[in-house]
């Protein structure tokens, strides 16, 4: 069984949220939870390479430096699992650079 949460208005990027499922919810058989369940999660912006909450030229430069074999200082340490990956391959590649530049140019 699953539930889908569609927030309105949309959640803000780069924020931490807590969702609580209370004992008032029941499954199809009428069973309630034995206690409230809290879920803590973060929202992420695709292309936010450094985790500062925005997509800008700094992210593009960091990506290009990474691709050229230069130092990776400034890249979020949890990049592969953060949700910022543009094409969900867990790697920083040209796809990220192009996406970031399109965002900065406001054509995406």
Nearest to 41 by CA among 80, 13, 66, 63: 13
Nearest to 83 by CA among 11, 2, 9, 3: 11
Same domain, 61 and 100: yes
Q: Could you tell me if residue 75 is inside a domain?
A: yes
Q: How many domains does the chain have?
A: 2
Same domain, 39 and 71: no
pLDDT of 29 higher than 70: yes
pLDDT of 11 higher than 90: no
Q: Could you tell me if residue 49 is inside a domain?
A: no
pLDDT of 13 higher than 80: no
Report yes or no: 84 and 46 within 8 Å, Cβ to Cβ: yes
Q: Could you tell me if residue 50 is inside a domain?
A: no
**Per-residue pLDDT averaged across 84-100, rounded?**
94
| pLDDT at residue 83, rounded to an integer | 85
Cross-strand partners of 20: 38
| pLDDT at residue 60, rounded to an integer | 96
Helix axis angle, 57-67 relative to 94-104, nearest 10°? Answer: 160
Q: Could you tell me if residue 4 is inside a domain?
A: yes
What pLDDT, in 10s, does the model give residues 46-61?
999 999 889 999 999 9
Note down the domain range covering 62: 57-104
Report yes or no: 48 and 59 within 8 Å, Cβ to Cβ: yes
| pLDDT at residue 3, rounded to an integer | 76
Nearest to 75 by CA among 98, 100, 47: 47
Q: How many residues are given for the chain? A: 108
């Amino acid at each position: 069984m699953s539930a889908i949460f569609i927030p309105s208005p949309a959640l803000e990027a780069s924020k931490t949220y807590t969702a609580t499922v209370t004992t008032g919810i029941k499954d199809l058989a009428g069973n309630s939870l034995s206690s409230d369940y809290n879920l803590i999660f973060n929202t992420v912006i695709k292309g936010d390479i450094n985790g500062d909450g925005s997509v800008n030229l700094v992210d593009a430069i960091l990506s290009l430096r990474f691709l050229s074999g230069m130092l990776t200082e400034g890249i979020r340490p949890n990049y592969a699992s953060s949700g910022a990956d543009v094409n969900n391959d867990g790697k920083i590649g040209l796809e990220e650079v192009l996406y970031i530049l399109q965002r900065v140019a406001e054509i995406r």
